[in-house]
Amino acid sequence: MRVVIADDDVLLREGLASLLRQEGFEVAGQAGAADELLALVRRHRPDLAVVDIRMPPTYDAEGVEAASAIRAEFPETGVLLLSAHVEVEEALELLATGHGIGYLLKRRVTSVADLVEALERIAHGGSVVDPSLVTELFSARHRQDPLELLTEREREVLALMAEGRSNAGIAHKLWITEGTVEKHVRSIMSRLRLPESEDDHRRVLAVLAYLDAR
């Protein structure tokens, strides 16, 4: 699997490249800026691009803009966004593509195995959204927000939905039956006034879009 990496932090970039090579990935190139990333993608046509959200020159959302350009020009290339902060507002439109896209917080990547699993899921057309993004968005919302109506278990289920897990995967993770998960999902959708769907990616994106609209 061919990967390109874009991050202005050279130590982090080199460390990530070394880890991925050890896991069998082909690291086709590295970039420290958004324009360099686009040049690499056009040259190597990678399966995946791992992109820091904040990059030179303004350190605002250049990574998101570059990722959007990649998806428009090379829709078959999966994109994993990395950030040190919760910045879903900037990435929401990109996440709304619903396939071959991921968003992880750097501080939450504590296992090489989990990172590899996320990359493989994205490369095969899946989506990965760090559940802590949803959790932190909960805390930033108004006190009367309907999200507060969710039970603790429903929030756990919602966080796992955000990881892109199926109902069966959630059931396995929480040690409950798949039927119980289905009931929680129906309840979540009802409380949030969102239509039910069997598509995990659409469920995650619907929740993120709802939070953004709030």
Q: pLDDT digits over 138-192, tens only?
A: 555 444 555 677 788 888 888 888 777 889 999 999 999 999 999 988 888 777 7
CB atoms closer than 10 angstroms to residue 93: 12
Pick from 209, 106, 203: nearest CA to 164: 203
Q: What is the mean pLDDT of residues 109-117?
A: 88
CATH T-level topology, domain 133-213 = Arc Repressor Mutant, subunit A (1.10.10)
Question: Is residue 137 pLDDT above 60, yes or no?
Answer: no
Beta strand pairing call for 2-6 and 48-52: parallel
User: Is there a shared CATH topology between the 2-129 domain and the 133-213 domain?
Assistant: no
Q: What is the pLDDT of residue 21?
A: 95
The CATH architecture annotation of domain 2-129 reads 3-Layer(aba) Sandwich (3.40)
Q: What is the pLDDT of residue 213?
A: 47
Q: What is the pLDDT of residue 120?
A: 93
Pick from 146, 118, 149, 155: nearest CA to 16: 118
- In this prediction the pTM is 0.66
Q: Which of 73-82, 87-96, 134-143 has the lowest mean pLDDT?
A: 134-143
Spans of all domains in the chain:
2-129, 133-213
- Type and span of the H or E element at 211: helix 200-213
